[in-house]
Structure 1
Amino acid sequence: MVLHRALFALDAERAHGVGLKLLNLLPSRPANASPRLETALAGMNLPHPIGLAAGFDKNATAVRGFAGLGFAYVEVGTVTPRPQVGNPRPRLFRLETDAAIINRLGFNNDGVATVGKRLRALGSRPVPLGINIGMNKDSREALPDYLTGMNALSSLADYITLNVSSPNTPGLRALQQVDRLRDLLRPVLERRAELARDLARRLPVFLKIAPDLSIDEALAIAELARDLGIDALMISNTTIDRPATLSSPARVETGGLSGKPLMQPSTALLREVRRGIGKSLPLIGIGGIFKAEDVLAKILAGATAVQLYSGLVYEGPGLVRRLVRDLDRLLDERSIGRLAEAIGADA
């Protein structure tokens, strides 16, 4: 708790950097998950459904540290073909009274060559690893950048996520228009099939969408993703919406909002997509998870697994183990034999 308070005394981005450096120094204490929490996701057998969302470890500098916090799987990135510095600082803001974060980082990262070298040096992956890829800000076309990311990083990943929903790269969210998305996904998935022969395994590809889509837009994307062979739809990225309930001074900052205010809208969109798409496409619930009740709400709404980011900032490094323990207790209280039985029960 003392360290947690000390980090909050620093500005948000500096604290984030210090926290990442300290993470690998913490004792490794994997979560002790009950067998009833076992989760199957795109060929990955996970001890529980809780993963780290992309954005926390953009450059894959703390994969072992996050595994040691008890995450069942870890997603790094977003990684772009070429290194880029991102947007000018300040660009990361804590909304402490709202338990939220606003970021306009702009895909700041070391690029595929450096991140790939770092992951190769890591050796065996301590937990299943996802790599989130995107396009450089100054790229004229999106497809070559996503293919570059696939080519450079697929051998190092258990799955690849296509980020077409960050609000901080101009024009990126326009890729969610169904016609443009089809033109992106088809060649990416064709390349995935070619890579599978070299890898001697099938590489799952996930797609991450924004919470600001209408239900019809999200359903159209989900149907396209299912029909083309995307392995999971991630709902959702950060929002550009600003709920009237926000009270922190930083609420006026531009960028993507995450944290507790995202729990309700992202879960509502998740539920509507599950209702519309049925069980034909796995969904991953992201946004606003701070307690086990939030995890279960995402599962009941239709998620197979979940990811978190902001909750870890506010609740500290013991959060995942608490979530796993309390989620098991919730299942017991509700007489749910296995977590998998709860998927979509409220959709």
Structure 2
Amino acid sequence: MGRLFRWFSRPIIAVQDSEKAHSRSLLMLRLASSNPMFRWVLRLLYKPKKSLKIHCFGLDYDHPFGLAAGMDKKAEALRGWESIGLAFSEIGGVTMHEQGGNPKPRMFRHGADRALVNRMGFNNPGSEKIVTTLEKAGKQNIPVWANLGKSKITPLEEARFDYSTSLKRMWPFVDVFVVNVSSPNTPGLRDLQHGDHLTGILDSCIEVNQQCADLYGKTRKPILIKVAPDLSDEELEAIVDAAIQSQIDGIVATNTTLSRPNKEHPVYIEQGGCSGLPLKDRSTDMIRHIYAYTEGQLPIVGVGGIMNADDAWEKITAGASLLQAYAGFVFEGPSLTKSIVHGLHKKLRDSEFESIDEAIGAYHR
């Protein structure tokens, strides 16, 4: 089925507007996964036959590979992600207020480089409407994560309230929260990665998380922070220190980058964050740095340029406990999950390790 996607679907998608192609693909998955028979077909075609079970953030996963934020901003296709074999899915970015995002066109592809550039700007219906969608969808068979962003109309000094309000609204329906202070497409957002802004947001989210846990009589939900790949080592370490001080549960490395490959192409002239293969090495370097700096004590979610099992294995051995992809699905199609999980299973079998857990951070040993 992967070859079918490359031979048939990719040429069609390539001539479409990137955002329209994205919306149509999401619609097709949502419609297919709404029917029990079609869900069975999707599982038959795309769900991995191998298992690489891992326990992370207090939850059990069938394997380490999940969906990155940005693909399903409105939580439209929750059943679909489980049907094509993903171990978890991340919805959003979700903001406190509904917003339309930046003017179109705002998403661009470079197929030969397996690269995406976007300046979406957190277009989403707002956390209140997302809650209605999640409530209607019901309990999912895989963990659901939510990516939290800041509304454009919210001043930086009030950002903590924006993030914590969305967290409070979605708390009963989400398993893991990711605090996104690293998107390059909301003015001033990356300023929230530093100093009092960051600690204020993290502490506010931690406080509301505990309040919700007490209210519902449950344990608190894991909260992660997503970092930018354009940070210096010193800036990254300061963020990690703040995360540890605030008792954040893990780091997502990384968001999209403002840097570009050293080549000329119209896509690379566009403003926005670049993801896909051009991000792969930088995100892996940051995973290695975080793992070494924390001595492996803070779980890392690796995202950026994962197109095959080799890319996935490299990030795991660099220090990632879990993995996510977005661009990989755009360029490789829904068979990516099975390809990566089966490939990781083979690499594990051929290695000295007994489990995926043992392979995490092997680069450092």
Report the TM range for the smaller structure's normalisation. over 0.9
Alpha-carbon distance between aligned partners in 1 of 2:49 and 2:149, rounded to the nearest angstrom: 33
- One-letter identity of the residue aligned with 2:93: T
Q: Is 1:202 matched up with 2:220?
A: yes
Q: Secondary structure at the match of 2:259?
A: coil
Q: Is 1:258 matched up with 2:264?
A: no
How much does 1:100 deviate? Answer: 0.5
- CA-to-aligned-CA distance 1:227-281 (integer Å, 9 cap, x gap): 221111000000001121x453211001000000100011001101111111221
Are the aligned partners of 2:256 and 2:273 in contact in 1 as well (CA < 8 Å)? yes
Alpha-carbon distance between aligned partners in 2 of 1:33 and 1:202, rounded to the nearest angstrom: 33
Query: Superposed, which structure 2 residues align to 1:55-66 within 5 Å?
Result: 55-66=70-81
Q: Secondary structure at the match of 1:257?
A: strand
Query: Superposed, which structure 2 residues align to 1:231-310 within 5 Å?
Result: 231-244=249-262, 246-310=263-327
Are the aligned partners of 2:161 and 2:204 in contact in 1 as well (CA < 8 Å)? no
Are the aligned partners of 2:96 and 2:151 in contact in 1 as well (CA < 8 Å)? yes
Q: Is 1:69 matched up with 2:87?
A: no
- CA-to-aligned-CA distance 1:10-51 (integer Å, 9 cap, x gap): 11000000000001316331633544x211110111010001
2:345 maps to which residue?
A: 328
Alpha-carbon distance between aligned partners in 1 of 2:281 and 2:66, rounded to the nearest angstrom: 19
How much does 1:6 deviate? Answer: 2.1
1:31 maps to which residue?
A: 47
Higher mean C-alpha deviation, range 224-233 or range 94-103: 224-233
How much does 1:345 deviate? Answer: 1.0
Alpha-carbon distance between aligned partners in 2 of 1:46 and 1:178, rounded to the nearest angstrom: 34
Q: Is 1:215 matched up with 2:233?
A: yes
Alpha-carbon distance between aligned partners in 1 of 2:264 and 2:354, rounded to the nearest angstrom: 41
Q: Secondary structure at the match of 1:207?
A: strand
Q: Is 1:85 matched up with 2:100?
A: yes
Q: Is 1:122 matched up with 2:137?
A: yes
Identical columns (%): 39
Alpha-carbon distance between aligned partners in 1 of 2:128 and 2:196, rounded to the nearest angstrom: 31
Alpha-carbon distance between aligned partners in 1 of 2:268 and 2:62, rounded to the nearest angstrom: 37
Are the aligned partners of 2:180 and 2:226 in contact in 1 as well (CA < 8 Å)? yes
Are the aligned partners of 2:67 and 2:86 in contact in 1 as well (CA < 8 Å)? yes
Long gaps (5+) in structure 1: none
How much does 1:179 deviate? Answer: 3.0
Of 150, 153, 165, which residue of structure 1 is paired with 2:167? 150
Are the aligned partners of 2:65 and 2:88 in contact in 1 as well (CA < 8 Å)? yes
TM-score, normalised relative to structure 1 = 0.96
Alpha-carbon distance between aligned partners in 2 of 1:247 and 1:334, rounded to the nearest angstrom: 40
Q: Is 1:316 matched up with 2:347?
A: no
Are the aligned partners of 2:48 and 2:337 in contact in 1 as well (CA < 8 Å)? no
- One-letter identity of the residue aligned with 1:312: F
- One-letter identity of the residue aligned with 1:207: I
Q: Secondary structure at the match of 2:112?
A: helix
2:35 maps to which residue?
A: none
Alpha-carbon distance between aligned partners in 1 of 2:50 and 2:23, rounded to the nearest angstrom: 33
Are the aligned partners of 2:108 and 2:117 in contact in 1 as well (CA < 8 Å)? yes
Q: Secondary structure at the match of 1:142?
A: helix
- One-letter identity of the residue aligned with 1:28: L
How much does 1:4 deviate? Answer: 3.6
Alpha-carbon distance between aligned partners in 2 of 1:178 and 1:33, rounded to the nearest angstrom: 46
Are the aligned partners of 1:80 and 1:135 in contact in 2 as well (CA < 8 Å)? yes
Higher mean C-alpha deviation, range 248-257 or range 258-267: 248-257
- One-letter identity of the residue aligned with 1:82: H
TM-score, normalised relative to structure 2 = 0.92
Alpha-carbon distance between aligned partners in 2 of 1:32 and 1:326, rounded to the nearest angstrom: 10
Of 20, 30, 38, which residue of structure 2 is paired with 1:14? 20
- CA-to-aligned-CA distance 1:82-114 (integer Å, 9 cap, x gap): 111100000000011211000000000111121
Are the aligned partners of 1:93 and 1:103 in contact in 2 as well (CA < 8 Å)? yes
Q: Secondary structure at the match of 2:168?
A: helix
Alpha-carbon distance between aligned partners in 2 of 1:296 and 1:33, rounded to the nearest angstrom: 18
- CA-to-aligned-CA distance 1:285-313 (integer Å, 9 cap, x gap): 11000000111111111111111000100
- Inter-CA distance 99–247: structure 2 relative to 1 (3 Å threshold): farther
Alpha-carbon distance between aligned partners in 2 of 1:327 and 1:184, rounded to the nearest angstrom: 36
Are the aligned partners of 1:226 and 1:280 in contact in 2 as well (CA < 8 Å)? no
Alpha-carbon distance between aligned partners in 1 of 2:151 and 2:234, rounded to the nearest angstrom: 29
2:244 maps to which residue?
A: 226
Higher mean C-alpha deviation, range 55-64 or range 136-145: 136-145
2:147 maps to which residue?
A: 132
How much does 1:182 deviate? Answer: 1.1
- One-letter identity of the residue aligned with 2:130: V
